[in-house]
Structure formats: C-alpha cells, structure tokens
C-alpha cells in the first residue's frame, strides 16, 4: 500500500483551542501527489506536508509551515505560544477512513499547549 493511494484533491478543515491574537488561516484545499502536498493558505504561508501510510487505518502526517512570504500581519506560534516568523514543523498520526474512493483523514495535532483538530476529506482526483 503506497502513499500514492492517497493521491487526490482534499478539503482541509481545522478547529483549535488557540486563543491568541493571530487569526489562523490554514483551512482550504490541497492536493496530495505521491504522498506530498505543497500549498499556500489564505495568509500566503507555505505548507509542505508528507503523508506516510502506517496501516489500513493510520497515516503519519508531517507538515512544515513556512511564513517567509506570508502576510505582514501573520505569524505562527512557538510551543510556548509566542509569535514567530520561523518555519514550524507539526506532526500527527491521523485516522484514515475509506469507503470506495472516498478517503477521510482526521486527528489531533498537539503543539505546545495548542491542540488542532484536523480533517481532510478527499473531494476529487488530482488536477493538472
């Protein structure tokens, strides 16, 4: 079972317990191609992620968020909650549910005191 089995277009939605001053803009659409994604969110932060299938029910996700070219009023946060303009790496083991060609990945990303619930639903085939 290779990572290319995850290939497709996904809708990404998140909720978080973050209560800080920075608006999170990480939701949107992305494409997984050969187990990897590259996309810019609404704040122009670059997200580069890799997805590794661990089992029929689990996928490891490692995401690097790089705000180098992001909007001036955008910042990521360090584990202690302070703002940073440095790249941040997030990782999580996501639960994978499959039904036919439909795939949903969901789980929790823990980073410092922040918890992000992420859901990625496959909404189509790879474009382009």
Strand partners, 46: 40, 66
Domain span holding position 37: 3-121
Q: Residue 26: which of 9, 47, 6 has the closest Cα?
A: 47
For residue 19, the model assigns a pLDDT of 61
Q: State the CATH number of the domain containing residue 77.
A: 2.40.128
Question: How many domains does the structure of the chain reveal?
Answer: 1
Answer whether residue 128 is part of any domain. no
Answer whether residue 57 is part of any domain. yes
User: What DSSP designation does 3 have?
Assistant: G
pLDDT above 70 for 80: yes
- The rounded radius of gyration (Å) of the Cα atoms in the chain is 14
Answer whether residue 83 is part of any domain. yes
Residue 3 binned pLDDT confidence (cut-offs 50, 70, 90) = low
Answer whether residue 127 is part of any domain. no
**Distance separating the N- and C-terminal Cα atoms of the chain:** 24
Average pLDDT, the chain: 87
pLDDT tens digits for 16-29? 876 655 555 667 88
pLDDT tens digits for 89-126? 999 999 999 988 899 999 999 888 888 899 999 999 98
Residue bearing the bigger pLDDT, 16 or 5: 5
Q: Which two tokens stand for residue 66?
A: 């790089």
Answer whether residue 27 is part of any domain. yes
For residue 55, the model assigns a pLDDT of 95
Answer whether residue 126 is part of any domain. no
Answer whether residue 20 is part of any domain. yes
pLDDT tens digits for 49-66? 999 999 999 999 999 999
Q: Residue 12: which of 33, 41, 34 has the closest Cα?
A: 41
Mean pLDDT computed over 26-34: 86
Contact 28, 41 (CB under 8 A): yes
């Amino acid at each position: 079972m290779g990572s290319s089995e995850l290939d497709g277009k996904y809708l990404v939605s998140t909720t978080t317990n973050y209560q800080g001053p920075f608006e999170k803009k990480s939701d949107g659409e992305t494409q997984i191609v050969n187990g990897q994604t590259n996309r810019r969110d609404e704040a122009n932060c670059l997200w580069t992620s890799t997805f590794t299938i661990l089992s029929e029910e689990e996928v490891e996700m490692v995401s690097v968020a790089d705000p180098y070219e992001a909007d001036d009023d955008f910042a990521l946060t360090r584990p202690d909650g302070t703002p940073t303009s440095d790249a941040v790496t997030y990782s999580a083991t996501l639960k994978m549910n499959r039904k036919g060609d439909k795939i949903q990945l969901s789980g929790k990303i823990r980073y410092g005191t922040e918890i992000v619930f992420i859901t990625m639903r496959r909404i189509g085939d790879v474009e382009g």
